[in-house]
Amino acid sequence: MDDNFSSFSQITDEEFKFIKDLMYKETGIFLADHKKIMVQSRLNSRARMHKMQNVSEYIRGLQADRKFFQSELTELINRITTNKTDFFRENHHFEFLKDTFFPSVEEKALKSGKKQLRIWSSACSTGEEPYTIAITCAEYFMHKPGWDIKIFASDIDTNVVQTAQEGIYKADRLEPVSEALKKRYFLKVKDLSGKNQDTYQVKPEIKSMIEFYKVNLLETPYPIREKVDCIFCRNVIIYFDKPTQKKIFENFEHVLKDRGLLVIGHSETLFGISEAYKFLGHTVYQKKPKI
């Protein structure tokens, strides 16, 4: 550590406003005032990494040096975005897939003759959500041959997308996963240090179901070029203001098939935000067909 670096330097209200405006412009994320301490902490680590004396010097660098700004922007976004996730988080959503949604997809396939399923995990974080979706699909369609299933997984944070692609997790991350599923879909491996710790990797047959992307939900067109049957966007829109929320759900309309599923987080709602989706219950919505 640089001896001249303050162990924890504070940012002024003006500096916080600069970061707040920058994050809103680049990502649509609205940083409430109570996030100032969190921002201070995460910017301190970036300033320390660059051997700067304090956060003020780091922010001045972003403001004055275009080259530094461009090289640092992705890392800055990575540091400030929140990535809380678990396997089988809000499990009622996966039960809904198995009990209600997948049977309806099968019914459509009988009429169309097209056994195809596309699901997008639009804020995949470190991968627990798309792998849970893939496992849920694998379990349901295990004895139903001929299905073409693809899961798209994306996040704005390039670091977590890389972690997700690796599909390696410590044993404590797999606590929500039953022993039967763990045995069926994970391999015990050495950790990154080469030691035989309790570390697991998602099996290749599950990983092969998923395509990973870096996606900023505000930037269209999205790299997902196929219409999807279901979009997971859970515990994300709480970080956006209402106009941005409206824009994102509008964007989703172009990617989602008619009567496709939209799944959001337990503390979120589309009430007063979009009329394009019908509420099915338990933060599950269905895109209304075009008249």
Q: How far apart, in whole angstroms, are the C-alpha atoms of residue 214 and residue 224?
A: 11
Q: How far apart, in whole angstroms, are the C-alpha atoms of residue 250 and residue 237?
A: 13
H runs (alpha helix) in the chain: 13-27, 36-49, 55-64, 66-80, 92-96, 102-112, 128-140, 158-166, 179-185, 204-207, 242-255
Q: How far apart, in whole angstroms, are the C-alpha atoms of residue 191 and residue 199?
A: 6
231 and 252 Cβ atoms separated by less than 8 Å: yes
| Catalytic positions, written as ranges | 42, 155
**Cα first-last separation, the chain:** 63
How far, CA to CA in Å, does 42 sit from each of 36, 67, 164, 277? 10, 21, 22, 37
Q: How far apart, in whole angstroms, are the C-alpha atoms of residue 127 and residue 133?
A: 10
Place of tokens 């530094």: 68
Q: How far apart, in whole angstroms, are the C-alpha atoms of residue 67 and residue 201?
A: 38
Query: With DSSP H G I counted as helix, E B as strand and the rest as coil, what are the percentages for the chain, rounded to 5?
Result: 45, 20, 35
Q: How far apart, in whole angstroms, are the C-alpha atoms of residue 59 and residue 240?
A: 23
Locate 53 and state its tokens. 């004396």
